[in-house]
Amino acid sequence: METKKIILPDNWEVKEVQGNKIVVGEKAEKEQLNTWRKCCKVLKEGEYMSSASEIKQVVFDNINEMDKNLLPDGLGKPMLALCQLLVCRNAWWKQLGWKPEWGDKKPFKWCIHNENGFIIVTSHSKFSRILAFPTYDIASQFLTTFRALIEEAKELL
C-alpha cells in the first residue's frame, strides 16, 4: 500500500477519518483565556477550599461569582499552609516592628525560600521574598517554629 503525505495549510486540521477518507477543515479558533471563569472551564476540575478550610476535589462546572475558593488540583493544602504562614509572618513582623523595604537595597533581608526543593535561608537586598525577616537568627527561628507549614507550602515559595 502506497502512503501519501498531505500538507495542510497552517489554519487547517484533520477533523476525522471515515474509512479511507480523511475529513479536513479549518481549525477552530481557541477561545482567549481572559477571565478567571474561562480558565476554570479549561481546567475542568481541581480543588475547593471550604469556609471551614476543608480541601475537597471538585468539578469546575456551573461556576458562579461565589466560587472564588476554587484552586488548581493539588494546591489546596499548600495554599492553606501559605495563608497560615502569612498570618504568622505578619504577627512576627508586627511584634518586631519591622516590614521589609524592598526599594531600599540596604540592609539585607533574610529570606526563607525554596531552592530546587530545599528550604533555605539566604540574604537578599533586591529580590522580594514572601518570608523575609531582618536577621538570619529570626529567619532561622521562624523556619524552625513553622517548618511543617513551610514544607507543606514550599512549592509556592
Nearest Cα neighbor of 114 from 152, 73, 87, 80 is 152
CB 63, CB 45: distance < 8 Å: no
Provide the sign of the torsion angle of the four alpha carbons 143, 145, 148, 152, taken in this order.
negative
Share of the chain residues as helix, strand and coil, in percent rounded to the nearest 5: 30, 25, 40
pTM over 0.85: no
Dig out the grid coordinates for 146 from the structure. Answer: 513553622
Q: What is the pLDDT of residues 83-101, one digit of tens each?
A: 999 999 999 999 999 999 9
Dig out the grid coordinates for 74 from the structure. Answer: 493539588
| 115, burial (CB in 10 Å: exposed 0-12, middle 13-18, buried 19+) | exposed
CA separation for the pair 36, 39 (Å, rounded): 5
Q: What is the pLDDT of residues 97-135, one digit of tens each?
A: 999 998 888 888 999 999 999 999 999 877 889 999 999
